[in-house]
Amino acid sequence: MGAHKTDPQIQHDVAEELRVDPRVTETDVGVTVVRAVVTLRGTIASWAMKMAAQEAAHRVEGVLDVANELDVRLPGLGVPTDGELAEEVRETLSGDEQIPGSRIRTTVSHGVVTLEGEVDSAGQREEASRAIRNVPGVKGLTNRLVVRKGELVADELQAVISAALQRQAQREAQHVKVAVRDGSVTLTGTVHSWSERRAIVGTVRGTLGVDVIIDELHVGS
């Protein structure tokens, strides 16, 4: 095992990760590191960019925690009111065919959007977050969406997931074990690559009735 990274090394690597991430276009994001805890400061143009910067920092080896203090401010004077933002959020939800927009309630306060209601899967809950993050003017997001309880019993849900895995990645399906309990799905076993692992987890995430995914898959030969 190699030596632990120093704080200056982590700071350099985080700054470089931010520089190469195409989703982060700001060049003045400040990075400080104290005992492997990264703090991001500065002003950026969107909530989506704020989340992208946070994800980029977490990707760097040696980072323990990230304090995201980035402030979202739209360039220019066209900052939407909460009412205008609520209208844009509703239009975004209604126009996204991957989520049941009519079952989602929203509240907007000082640019922070709160989502409440029911969706059919963990994938729909995550898609709702992704859609709202990209709405100009959103400064924060609280996702309180819950997954509807499916009518499938555990054995039936496991059979549906196993069939989906075979369609998505036939070679790996026989090596993946699926355990289901109250909408929580635990995946164990070995796959051949990170892309195959992502494909399997993505398939499960989109299955109706799946609320929580515990990914214990191992990538190996």
Class of domain 7-72 (CATH, top level): alpha beta
Helices and strands, number each (H, E), in the chain? 7, 10
Average pLDDT of 4-32? 89
**Confidence band, pLDDT 50/70/90 cuts, at residue 1:** very low
- CB 145 within 8 Å of CB 130: no
> HEC states along 115-134?
EEEEECCHHHHHHHHHHHHC
Q: What is the pTM of this model?
A: 0.66
20-37 tens-digit pLDDT: 988 888 777 899 999 999
DSSP state letters, 7-63: HHHHHHHHHHHHHH-TT---S--EEEEETTEEEEEEEES-HHHHHHHHHHHHHSTT-
Q: Where are the domains of the chain?
A: 7-72, 82-147, 154-219
Determine the 3-state secondary structure of 97 from DSSP: coil
Question: Which pLDDT belongs to residue 59?
Answer: 92
Domain 82-147 has CATH 3.30.1340.30: yes
Distance CA 73, CA 59 (A): 25
Class of domain 154-219 (CATH, top level): alpha beta
Q: Do domains 82-147 and 154-219 have the same CATH topology?
A: yes
191-203 tens-digit pLDDT: 877 877 888 888 8
Residue 112 predicted with pLDDT over 60: yes
**Confidence band, pLDDT 50/70/90 cuts, at residue 190:** confident
Least-confidence region, from 62-66, 94-98, 192-196? 192-196
